[in-house]
């Protein structure tokens, strides 16, 4: 068990393992996403109230939830990096920040395009939206802090500390936003997402896009991490051999 | 050998008084954030509307947001000088627990940067036509909130002190993290204005302060160790 | 098996009047995910070029210097 963990922490082992694993992950992810999106856009029955606008939900819900789970993953990696000084954990955390920020942005933008016809406005200061926006700011902060350091190790450590500070803060922020929302009446009524009147078929594509987008998280994180491994291990013999074996491109 | 027998409390008091002395001898570091506080608040009636009804509606938010920004601007003097003359390194090397040293340092800093903001806030509330009932919740809120903001700001400052050009980055890091304090603090004034009891929010702000007091020095310490090497 | 819900392709693009919102949301989604997928590929190509240049430089240097 410990040996396995130790091996998994080695960048080279991670690289070799993902080389085998990647085509499968890529295939499954693309399959789920294509089925889910085609089904969701064309074949799922329209919502009785929102007509075809609700089709945004198929990408909105998974990306918004994904953005939060990626932060949890990034925080776990940051903790592993701080406690055991595991370099690979930090490389994964660095990849997570970019993927999470992009999911967060997609969640916010698709949410506001869904909100305009549903609520009449692009943006309301609802607890979920506010917390999501702040999550996006924190992602940006982590990325900015890491890139501000010239030294790789200092930047990594600083980003880890900030990530962990953020993880303590996020539940408080969500709670604060929720409390604040009860003080100020939201500008429009939040109804419209009633699901009871809809047939279950409407929700089937969510499972496809949901698992597809989770697969995409892992795919994107792994792809970014592999590049990071090659860069940080550039002096190792195995990377040198790999560079030599790589086919040349114009 | 009397200098080596200060003991934990003696050395904490030394850190505390040193912080006060340094700020006292650089009055600009105390006065400038305060001046920013006053000037920024007085821009709102000029940029918006000087109608008292409008002003009293936004007063709580304006005072709180500018107080938050003023605290952040005052952070520069917390670690910058010590970083440049090497005394920060001495602090990290000292045999006494770093946690308490950092608490003493932040406490000293707050006493000359946060507390004046609290004391000045009624004047600004007056300029923004805030009703009299709301003065007490505003001041109590700031009294409990500014130490928390100082502690959060100190984390950001500790992370960026080694960068030299940290000013804007500090804002990007710290502002999202200080939102809960802002929400509860400004919300407390609004609650009082609505005639509702606000003691629950006092407790919440107190809880945030206790949380920050217990966890922030750990993060500040870790961040300083990163910035030093 | 679910059926295609729209009468024509034009109908599909019209999204019962919500075309702007639906296609803007999906457009942004595809743009971001496309960038997400293409970025590692471009980065890898650039990295390989750089590492290969380093190798060539080190081979040509005599005597070989360890970094």
> What are the residue ranges spanned by the domains of chain C?
9-60
Residue A194 has pLDDT above 50, yes or no: no
Residue B165 has pLDDT above 80, yes or no: no
* pLDDT for position B5: 61
Identify the band that residue A104 occupies on the pLDDT scale cut at 50, 70 and 90.
very high
Condensed to tens digits (0 to 9), the pLDDT of residues B37-52 reads 999 998 988 887 888 8
Q: How far is Cα A233 from Cα A151, in angstroms, rounded to an integer?
A: 15
Backbone angles phi, psi at A10, to 5 degrees: -85, 125
Higher pLDDT, A188 or C3: C3
What would the mean pLDDT of B69-98 be, rounded to a whole number? 87
Residue A183 has pLDDT above 80, yes or no: no
Give the nearest chain B residue to A180 (CA atoms): B183
Residue A26 has pLDDT above 60, yes or no: yes
Cβ distance of A106 and C44 shorter than 8 Å = no
Q: In chain C, which residues have their Cβ closer than 8 Å to the Cβ of A56?
A: 21-22, 25-26
Give residue A147's domain range. 14-188+203-228
CA angle B105, B221, B118 (to 5 degrees): 40
What would the mean pLDDT of A217-225 be, rounded to a whole number? 95
User: Looking at the domain assignment, is residue A127 inside a domain?
Assistant: yes
Backbone angles phi, psi at A47, to 5 degrees: -70, 145
* pLDDT for position A38: 86
Give the nearest chain A residue to B208 (CA atoms): A172
Residue A192 has pLDDT above 50, yes or no: no
Chains C and A contact (Cβ–Cβ under 8 Å for 3 or more pairs): yes
Tell me which of C25, C53, C59 to substitute to probe the interface with A (most A C-beta atoms closer than 10 Å). C25
User: Looking at the domain assignment, is residue A7 inside a domain?
Assistant: no
Q: In chain B, which residues have their Cβ closer than 8 Å to the Cβ of A90?
A: none
Quote the minimal CA–CA distance from A93 to chain B in Å.
17
* pLDDT for position C65: 56
Q: Does C37 touch chain A (CB under 8 A)?
A: yes
User: Looking at the domain assignment, is residue A241 inside a domain?
Assistant: no
Q: How far is Cα B169 from Cα A137, in angstroms, rounded to an integer?
A: 12
Q: In chain A, which residues have their Cβ closer than 8 Å to the Cβ of C3?
A: 43
Residue B1 has pLDDT above 50, yes or no: no
What would the mean pLDDT of A89-107 be, rounded to a whole number? 94
Identify the band that residue A187 occupies on the pLDDT scale cut at 50, 70 and 90.
very low
Tell me if residue A195 falls in helix, strand or coil.
coil
For residue A56, count other CB atoms closer than 10 A to its CB: 29
* pLDDT for position A143: 94
Identify the band that residue A48 occupies on the pLDDT scale cut at 50, 70 and 90.
low
User: Looking at the domain assignment, is residue A182 inside a domain?
Assistant: yes
Residue B4 has pLDDT above 90, yes or no: no
The DSSP-derived string for A44-101 is: SPPBTTTBTGGGGHHHHHHHHHHHHHHHHHHHHHHHHHHHH--HHHHHHHHHHHHHHH
CB burial of A82-104 (b: ≥16 within 10 Å; e: otherwise) equals beeebbbbbbbbbbbbbbbbbbb
Long-range contacts of range B88-95, CB-CB < 8 Å, 24 or more positions apart? B88/B161, B88/B224, B88/B228, B89/B228, B91/B15, B92/B221, B92/B224, B92/B225, B92/B228, B94/B11
Residue B37 token pair = 């506080």
Residue A232 has pLDDT above 70, yes or no: yes
**Sign of the C-alpha dihedral, residues A55, A56, A59, A61?**
negative
What would the mean pLDDT of A148-173 be, rounded to a whole number? 90
Per the structure, the count of domains in chain A is 1
Cβ distance of A51 and C17 shorter than 8 Å = yes
Residues with Cβ within 8 Å of residue A197, at least 6 apart in sequence: A48, A49
Quote the minimal CA–CA distance from B152 to chain A in Å.
9
Facing residue for A201 by CB, picked from C2, C37, C41: C2
The answer to whether residues A240 and A47 touch, using CB atoms and an 8 Å cutoff, is no
Residue A68 has pLDDT above 50, yes or no: yes
Backbone angles phi, psi at A55, to 5 degrees: -60, -15
- pTM of the model as a whole: 0.88
User: Looking at the domain assignment, is residue A178 inside a domain?
Assistant: yes
Cβ distance of C26 and A63 shorter than 8 Å = no
Average pLDDT, chain C: 82
Q: How far is Cα B70 from Cα B33, in angstroms, rounded to an integer?
A: 5
Residue B147 has pLDDT above 90, yes or no: yes
Residue A82 token pair = 């701080």
What would the mean pLDDT of A159-174 be, rounded to a whole number? 89
């Amino acid at each position: 068990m410990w040996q396995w963990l130790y091996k998994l922490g080695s960048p080279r082992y991670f690289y070799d393992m993902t080389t085998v694993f990647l085509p499968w992950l890529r295939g499954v992810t693309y399959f789920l996403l294509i089925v889910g999106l085609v089904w969701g856009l064309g074949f799922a029955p329209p919502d009785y109230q929102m007509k075809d606008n609700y089709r945004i939900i198929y990408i909105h819900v998974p990306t918004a939830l994904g953005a939060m789970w990626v932060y949890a993953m990034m925080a776990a990696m940051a903790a592993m990096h701080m406690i055991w000084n595991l370099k690979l954990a930090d490389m994964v955390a660095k990849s997570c920040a970019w993927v999470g920020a992009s999911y967060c942005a997609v969640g916010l933008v698709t949410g506001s395009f869904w909100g305009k016809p549903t609520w009449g406005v692009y943006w309301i200061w609802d607890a979920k939206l506010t917390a999501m926006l702040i999550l996006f700011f924190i992602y940006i902060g982590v990325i900015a802090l890491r890139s501000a350091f010239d030294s790789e190790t200092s930047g990594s450590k600083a980003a880890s500390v900030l990530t962990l500070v953020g993880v303590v803060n996020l539940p408080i922020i969500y709670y604060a936003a929720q409390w604040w929302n009860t003080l100020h009446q939201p500008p429009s009524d939040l109804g419209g997402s009633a699901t009871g009147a809809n047939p279950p078929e409407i929700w089937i594509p969510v499972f496809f896009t949901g698992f597809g987008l989770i697969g995409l998280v892992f795919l994107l994180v792994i792809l970014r991490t592999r590049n990071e491994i090659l860069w940080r291990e550039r002096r190792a013999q195995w990377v040198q051999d790999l560079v030599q074996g790589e086919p040349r491109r114009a | 050998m009397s200098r080596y027998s200060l003991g934990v409390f003696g050395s904490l008091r030394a850190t505390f008084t040193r912080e006060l002395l340094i700020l006292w001898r650089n009055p600009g570091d105390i006065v400038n954030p305060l001046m920013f506080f006053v000037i920024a608040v007085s821009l709102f009636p000029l940029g918006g509307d000087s109608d008292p009804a409008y002003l009293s509606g936004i007063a709580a938010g304006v005072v709180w947001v500018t107080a938050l920004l003023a605290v952040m601007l005052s952070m520069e003097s917390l670690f910058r000088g010590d970083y440049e003359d090497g005394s920060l390194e001495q602090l990290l090397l000292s045999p006494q627990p770093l946690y308490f040293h950092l608490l003493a340092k932040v406490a000293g800093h707050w006493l000359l940067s946060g507390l004046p903001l609290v004391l000045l806030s009624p004047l600004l509330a007056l300029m923004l036509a805030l009703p009299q009932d709301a003065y007490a919740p505003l001041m109590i809120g700031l009294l409990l909130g500014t130490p928390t903001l100082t502690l959060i700001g100190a984390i950001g400052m500790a992370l960026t002190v080694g960068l030299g050009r940290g000013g804007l980055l500090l804002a990007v890091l710290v502002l999202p993290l200080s939102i809960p304090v802002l929400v509860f603090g400004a919300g407390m004034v609004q609650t009082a204005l609505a005639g509702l009891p606000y003691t629950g929010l006092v407790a919440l702000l107190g809880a945030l302060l206790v949380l920050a007091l217990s966890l922030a020095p750990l993060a500040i310490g870790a961040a300083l160790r990163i910035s030093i090497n | 098996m679910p059926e295609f819900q729209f009468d024509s392709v034009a109908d599909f693009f019209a999204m019962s009047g919500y075309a702007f919102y639906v296609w803007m949301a999906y457009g942004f989604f595809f743009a971001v995910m496309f960038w997400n997928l293409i970025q590692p590929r471009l980065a890898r190509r650039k990295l390989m070029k750089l590492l290969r240049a380093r190798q060539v430089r080190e081979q040509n240097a005599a005597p070989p210097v360890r970094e």
